[in-house]
């Protein structure tokens, strides 16, 4: 792959990472790089003149010429012009006009303000990158998680709360939590992307300039945006109301949070003392520069690290909701970094897709850890069955049993069965209740059934087939 130029970069800060990751660059660059920004803003300028032609304000020939010019303008020439005029939108307009015959030049940008173009183009490219890159990558991850959850729906695993043994579940049930959480985020992200809005309303949003050209500027705004597949908000100032972009950014950030939580859980399950899952490693992969035995959870740690870097970006997005009166310029620089948040989510989804599809599940380790936990975690089913057998204070009785068992180094049931006062209650247990006490690995509730139901629900809601 050829070395990228700064105009190709996805991040305004540093493009070297993307230069070494061709798949990431190829997927995102048509929407998020600097050249893409110019292309999308030029599309807005073209849609304006096309709508003029449809109204008979200019000829179809002029509209066609301007459209060709908008498609031909380059990011390099716009950058050179911006260095001269010190205004990014006017630089784009000048470059388009330079490619158009004198008769048609006056129609370029006529009636618009800069942020008619900037905000509309931003909405358009964020919608497109969500549709074309983010959602497909996340849906693929959802499919991998569903396959994993269904495969392991009946695999017993000790549940953990507060970092301690809880009661048994199945690994498929644990994975199904992420099937559900990611599914809701996909729906939310899709809805937020489709609700992004544009504007063709002029310097303060009141259609002042367009009112001098057209009898119905609000209808014209709808016509221009329809050519781009967008709608206007119910009210704009010089900028589109911030909440549409804020909602989309929140959907992106909260989706990234789900991926980070998944990565963190899998990272901890890969700890030496747990060892229940592992990232598949390539033959030549190195885990440590000095410890050859290491097999690090490299992808899971990377995803969590990216989340840590980008989750705070939402604070800036919220700060950008504030703009004085009809608009100040304080959001101009900060909003240019919003595409990086989208890129972060795409990178994490792509990396997790490679790992989750090949996740190594150690069922023997899960069984071993559950067996180690069994003497203690039997406390909950014991409390429940004693209460069902009409013990007057079952929870307190079992709490005391657990303390005694801990002090004596025994299992809870060993202590319970030695207590004569509990025998009348234990003798009244059903076969299912007694089985839960003898074999805690069977005390799984509806974990397998719930995992299967959740997977079926999201296969249907997302139409995964």
On whether residue 130 sits in a domain, the answer given is yes
* Residue ending a domain, choose from 58, 78, 105: 105
Tokens 């006490």 correspond to what residue? 437
369-386, pLDDT tens digit by residue? 999 999 999 999 999 999
Do residues 84 and 173 both lie within one domain?
Answer: no
Please check whether residues 170 and 309 belong to one and the same domain. yes
Contact 168, 375 (CB under 8 A): no
Structural domain contains residue 202: no
Residue ending a domain, among 304, 333, 365, is: 365
Q: What number of other Cβ atoms are within 10 A of residue 233's Cβ?
A: 18
Residues 146 and 79 in one domain: no
Other CB atoms within 10 A of residue 456 CB? 12
pLDDT reported for residue 298: 84
- Do 297 and 426 fall into the same domain? no
- Tally of structural domains, the chain: 3
Enter the DSSP assignment of 315: H
- Cα–Cα distances (Å) from 262 to 22, 175, 258, 272, 303, in that order, read 25, 8, 6, 18, 9
The per-residue pLDDT for range 133-181, each reduced to its tens digit, is: 999 999 999 999 999 999 999 999 999 999 999 999 999 999 999 999 9
Residues 246 and 129 in one domain: yes
Q: Are 130 and 27 in contact (CB under 8 A)?
A: no
Poorest-confidence range of 4-8, 36-40, 80-84, 209-213? 4-8
List the domain range (segments joined by +) for residue 77: 33-105
Residues 6+ apart with CB under 8 A from 424: none
Q: How many CB atoms lie within 10 A of CB 453?
A: 13
Residues 258 and 135 reside in one and the same domain: yes
Q: What Rg do the C-alpha atoms of the chain give, in angstroms? A: 30
Measured at the CA of 196, the angle between CA 193 and CA 199, to 5 degrees, comes to 160
Residue 402, classified by CB atoms within 10 Å of its CB into exposed (0-12), middle (13-18) or buried (19+), is middle
Q: Is residue 212 part of a domain?
A: no
Confirm whether 138 is domain-assigned.
yes
Within a domain: 449:
no
Q: At what angle do helices 447-461 and 135-151 cross, to 10 degrees?
A: 150
Residues 68 and 174 both lie in one domain: no
246 within domain boundaries: yes
Give the β-pairing of 231-232 and 197-198: parallel
Confidence (pLDDT) at 10: 57
- pLDDT at res. 329: 84
Query: Do 424 and 289 share a structural domain?
Result: no
- What mean pLDDT comes out for the span 225-249? 97
| Mean pLDDT rounded to a whole number for the chain | 91
Distance from C-alpha of 93 to C-alpha of 383, rounded to nearest angstrom:
75
Model pLDDT, residue 292: 52
CATH number at residue 72: 1.10.275
- Same-domain check for residues 281 and 419: no
358 and 390 housed in the same domain: no
DSSP state of 168: E
pLDDT band at 5 (very low <50, low <70, confident <90, very high): low
CB neighbours (10 Å) of residue 209? 17
Whether residue 23 is contained in a domain is answered as no
Please state the rounded mean pLDDT for residues 96-119. 97
CA 226 to each of CA 46, 58, 358: distance values in angstroms, whole numbers, following the listed order: 13, 19, 43
Task: Provide the token pair at 301.
Answer: 């740690």
Specify if 453 maps to a domain. no
Q: Are residues 101 and 131 in the same domain?
A: no
Where are the extended beta strands (E) located within 323-388? 360-361
Whether residue 364 contacts residue 399, with contact meaning beta carbons closer than 8 Å, is answered with: no
Q: Is the pLDDT of residue 419 over 90?
A: yes
What are the CA-CA distances from residue 376 to residues 133, 143, 363, 366 (Å)? 47, 36, 21, 16
Domain boundary (105, 135, 151) is at 105
Same domain, 312 and 350: yes
Tokens at 280, concatenated: 């598949």
- Main-chain dihedrals φ then ψ at residue 113, nearest 5 degrees: -115, 165
């Amino acid at each position: 792959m050829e070395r990228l130029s700064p105009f190709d970069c996805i991040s305004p800060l540093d493009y070297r990472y993307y230069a070494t990751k061709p798949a990431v660059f190829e997927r995102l660059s048509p929407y998020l790089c600097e050249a893409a920004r110019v292309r999308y803003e030029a599309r807005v300028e073209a849609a304006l003149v096309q709508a003029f032609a449809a109204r008979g304000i200019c000829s179809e020939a002029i509209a066609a010429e301007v459209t060709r010019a908008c498609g031909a303008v380059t990011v390099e020439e716009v950058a050179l012009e911006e260095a001269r005029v010190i205004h990014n939108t006017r630089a784009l307009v000048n470059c388009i006009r330079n490619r158009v015959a004198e008769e048609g030049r006056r129609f370029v940008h006529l009636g618009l303000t800069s942020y008619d173009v900037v905000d509309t183009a931003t909405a358009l490219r964020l919608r497109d990158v969500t549709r074309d890159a983010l959602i497909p990558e996340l849906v693929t991850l959802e499919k991998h998680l569903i396959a994993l959850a269904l495969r392991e729906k009946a695999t017993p695993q000790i549940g953990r709360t507060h970092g301690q043994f809880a009661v048994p579940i199945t690994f498929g049930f644990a994975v199904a939590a992420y099937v559900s959480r990611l599914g809701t985020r996909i729906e939310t992200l899709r809805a937020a992307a489709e609700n992004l809005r544009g504007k063709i309303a002029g310097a303060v949003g009141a259609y002042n300039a367009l009112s001098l050209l057209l009898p119905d500027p609000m209808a014209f705004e709808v016509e221009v945006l329809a050519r781009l597949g967008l709608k206007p908000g119910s009210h704009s100032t010089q900028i589109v109301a911030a909440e549409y972009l804020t909602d989309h950014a929140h959907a992106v950030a909260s989706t990234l949070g789900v991926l980070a939580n998944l990565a963190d859980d899998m990272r901890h399950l890969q700890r030496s003392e747990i060892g229940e899952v592992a990232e598949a490693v390539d033959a030549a992969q190195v885990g440590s520069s000095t410890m050859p035995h290491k097999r690090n959870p490299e992808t899971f740690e990377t995803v969590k690290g990216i989340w840590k870097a980008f989750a705070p970006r939402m604070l800036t997005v919220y700060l950008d909701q504030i703009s004085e009166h009809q608009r100040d310029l304080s959001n101009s620089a900060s909003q240019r970094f919003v595409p990086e948040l989208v890129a972060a989510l795409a990178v994490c989804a792509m990396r997790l897709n490679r790992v989750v599809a090949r996740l190594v599940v150690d069922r023997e380790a899960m069984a071993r850890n559950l067996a180690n936990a069994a003497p203690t975690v039997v406390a909950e089913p014991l409390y429940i069955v004693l209460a069902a057998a009409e013990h007057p204070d079952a929870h307190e009785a079992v709490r005391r049993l657990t303390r005694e068992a801990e002090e004596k180094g025994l299992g809870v049931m060993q202590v319970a069965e030695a207590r004569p006062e509990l025998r009348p209650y234990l003798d009244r247990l059903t076969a299912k209740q007694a089985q839960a006490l003898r074999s805690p690995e069977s005390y799984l509730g509806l974990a397998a059934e719930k995992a299967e139901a959740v997977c079926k629900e999201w296969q249907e809601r997302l139409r995964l087939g």
